[in-house]
């Protein structure tokens, strides 16, 4: 019998216990903030019906959906003509009825429609679950990764947008990040800009180009705009908008002048001002909130405010983003249900915290104390102490077999266990246990009650 060499599918990862502690620290920190703002957790299945996902992400997105083969002899009922044609698209509908979810948004829309009669609107939910994409694996891009989303549907209030800004601020600050920028824009402002130039049909081309300002500069943007159907005169009108400078208030005042003839543009400015006013009235003066007209994010998808978050401490792409959409559930027959949502890029946040050494040392700790095991007598003596420590909420292990001290100390070191309780004949006879601090090497003789008290306060 041949031995199979163990391997992982490309684009997937194992997570060690140490990595899981760090990942859960990120998820738990973000979840705590979500709950604080009234968001409740839901989960949806890893697999959805293929027809639920197909056609929701565009042609390119559809190609990246992982299809699941039907169980049993899935080729038996496929017509010979389709098999002989070797046309995978025609065959898919015959051999696959389910697929792994591509994101959390479409399953959420499906969930809302299916549960609409039991949901209280506005419905505020968050989800932290893995998604799968048949993408080409590369650095920072995986085929299986986690999304960390929060959405509210059934409310047009811009208070939701303001609270999402505060959620980003609070969650990222709680994770230890100090220098990050929360960027905000509005789809209606971008529509207004395209309108005053007289090229509303080229709004996507315009925003795709100006979205690259940071990467290719004004000359590069101008060249791309010319290639996409804009004239030199159009670009001259665009320049003052693309190069907007000053405070958020100064930018808005400039835009009011530029967009004075565009109803939709002025509506976008009004929405941004409303969000800023909510934030101000919530007694939150955010110096890192920036109006960025070049921010486009999934323009065809969003209809109002758009968000993106970038850290300034590490060279990294966005670590969060989202926006307002007006017909999320329309794809499943429930029309005109507006919503707004954001997402945290947990994998990128992990890399940032790792690079900046921001994971708290206490989150890295699993077992707090190891009880030694030298022989059967010591083991029996240790069992009630083990239970007493665990009952007190202290993560405790008893070394499972009798072994030499060096081996047990090596085990504690390898697992970063900070304390070891040594129980030998002397400790059993006088009732004073030896507590060893593995970091300092200091040893103390203490009663079990005193050890409990000490470990509780550390």
For the stretch 356-378, pLDDT in tens is: 999 987 766 789 999 999 999 99
3-class secondary structure per residue, 95-130: HEEEEECCCCHHHHHHHHHHCCCCCCCCEEEEEEEE
Residue 199 is predicted with a pLDDT of 86
Residue 242 is predicted with a pLDDT of 82
Would you give the DSSP letter of residue 393?
T
195 and 267 in contact (C-beta within 8 Å)?
no
Residue 178 is predicted with a pLDDT of 94
pLDDT tens digits, residue range 49-73? 999 999 888 778 888 999 998 888 8
pLDDT tens digits, residue range 385-430? 999 999 999 999 999 999 999 999 999 999 989 999 999 999 999 9
Average pLDDT rounded to a whole number, residues 245-266: 93
If 0-12 CB within 10 Å is exposed, 13-18 middle and 19+ buried, where does residue 274 land? middle
**Alpha carbons 403 and 406: distance in angstroms, whole number:** 8
CA triplet 137, 141, 146: central angle to 5 degrees? Answer: 120
In the sheet that holds 47-49, the strands lie side by side as 47-49, 96-100, 67-69
Residue 315 is predicted with a pLDDT of 86
Q: How would residue 300 be classed by pLDDT, with cut points 50, 70 and 90?
A: low
pLDDT tens digits, residue range 193-218? 989 888 888 888 888 888 888 788 88
pLDDT tens digits, residue range 79-116? 777 777 776 777 777 788 999 999 999 999 999 999 99
Q: Which of 35-39, 291-295, 358-362, 422-426 has the lowest average pLDDT? A: 358-362
| pLDDT at residue 295 greater than cutoff 60 | yes
- Structure tokens, 13: 């990862």
**Alpha carbons 211 and 215: distance in angstroms, whole number:** 9
| pLDDT at residue 353 greater than cutoff 60 | yes
Helices 213-227, 203-210: axis angle to 10 degrees equals: 150
Backbone angles phi, psi at 124, to 5 degrees: -110, 115
| pLDDT at residue 299 greater than cutoff 60 | no
Average pLDDT rounded to a whole number, residues 14-20: 92
417 and 367 in contact (C-beta within 8 Å)?
yes
Q: How many CA atoms lie within 13 A of 410 on its CB side?
A: 5
In the sheet that holds 144-153, the strands lie side by side as 40-41, 123-132, 144-153, 339-344, 320-325, 305-311, 180-186, 289-291
**Alpha carbons 264 and 348: distance in angstroms, whole number:** 35
Average pLDDT rounded to a whole number, residues 24-38: 97
| pLDDT at residue 1 greater than cutoff 80 | no
In the chain, pLDDT over 70 holds for what percent of residues?
98
Average pLDDT of every residue of the chain: 91
Residue 297 is predicted with a pLDDT of 67
Residue 120 is predicted with a pLDDT of 95
Average pLDDT rounded to a whole number, residues 269-296: 91
Residue 122 is predicted with a pLDDT of 96
Question: CA distances (Å), 147 to each of 60, 61, 101, 344, in order?
Answer: 20, 17, 11, 7
In the chain, pLDDT over 90 holds for what percent of residues?
67
Residue 298 is predicted with a pLDDT of 62
């Amino acid at each position: 019998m041949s031995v199979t060499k163990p391997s992982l599918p490309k684009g997937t990862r194992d997570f060690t216990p140490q990595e899981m502690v760090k990942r859960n620290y990120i998820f738990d920190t973000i979840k705590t903030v979500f709950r604080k703002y009234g968001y409740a957790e839901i989960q949806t299945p890893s697999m959805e019906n293929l027809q639920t996902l197909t056609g929701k992400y565009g042609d390119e997105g559809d190609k990246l959906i992982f299809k699941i083969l039907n169980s049993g002899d899935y080729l038996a009922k496929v017509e010979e003509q389709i098999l002989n044609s070797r046309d995978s698209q025609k065959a898919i509908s015959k051999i696959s009825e389910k697929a792994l979810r591509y994101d959390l948004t479409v399953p959420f829309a499906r969930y809302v429609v299916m549960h609409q009669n039991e949901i209280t609107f506005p419905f505020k939910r968050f989800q932290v679950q893995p998604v799968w994409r048949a993408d080409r694996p590369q650095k920072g891009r995986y085929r299986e990764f986690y999304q960390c989303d929060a959405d509210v549907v059934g409310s047009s209030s811009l208070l939701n947008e303001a609270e999402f800004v505060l959620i980003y601020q609070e969650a990222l600050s709680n994770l230890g990040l100090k220098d990050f920028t929360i960027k905000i824009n509005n789809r209606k402002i971008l529509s207004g800009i395209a309108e005053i130039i007289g090229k509303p049909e080229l709004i996507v081309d315009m925003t795709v180009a100006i979205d690259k300002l940071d990467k290719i500069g004004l000359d590069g943007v101008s060249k791309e705009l010319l290639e996409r159907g804009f004239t030199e005169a159009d670009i001259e009108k665009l320049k003052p908008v693309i190069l907007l400078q000053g405070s958020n208030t100064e930018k808005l005042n400039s835009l009011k002048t530029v967009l004075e003839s565009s109803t939709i543009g002025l509506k976008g400015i009004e929405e941004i001002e409303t969000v800023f006013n909510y934030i101000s009235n919530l007694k939150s003066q955010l110096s890192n909130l920036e109006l960025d007209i070049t921010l486009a994010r999934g323009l065809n998808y969003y209809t109002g405010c758009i968000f993106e978050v970038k850290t300034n401490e590490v060279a990294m792409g966005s670590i969060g983003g989202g926006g307002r959409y007006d017909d999320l559930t329309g794809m499943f027959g429930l029309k005109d249900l507006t919503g707004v949502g954001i997402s945290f890029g947990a994998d990128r946040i992990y890399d940032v915290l790792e690079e900046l050494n921001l994971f708290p040392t206490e989150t890295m700790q699993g077992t707090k104390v190891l009880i030694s095991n030298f022989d059967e007598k010591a083991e029996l003596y240790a069992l009630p102490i083990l239970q007493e420590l665990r009952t007190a909420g202290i993560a405790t292990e008893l070394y499972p077999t009798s072994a030499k001290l060096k081996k047990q100390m090596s085990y504690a070191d390898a697992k970063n266990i900070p304390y070891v309780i040594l129980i030998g004949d002397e400790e059993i006879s006088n009732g004073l246990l030896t507590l060893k601090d593995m970091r300092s090497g200091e040893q103390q003789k203490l009663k079990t009650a005193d050890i409990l008290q000490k470990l509780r306060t550390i």
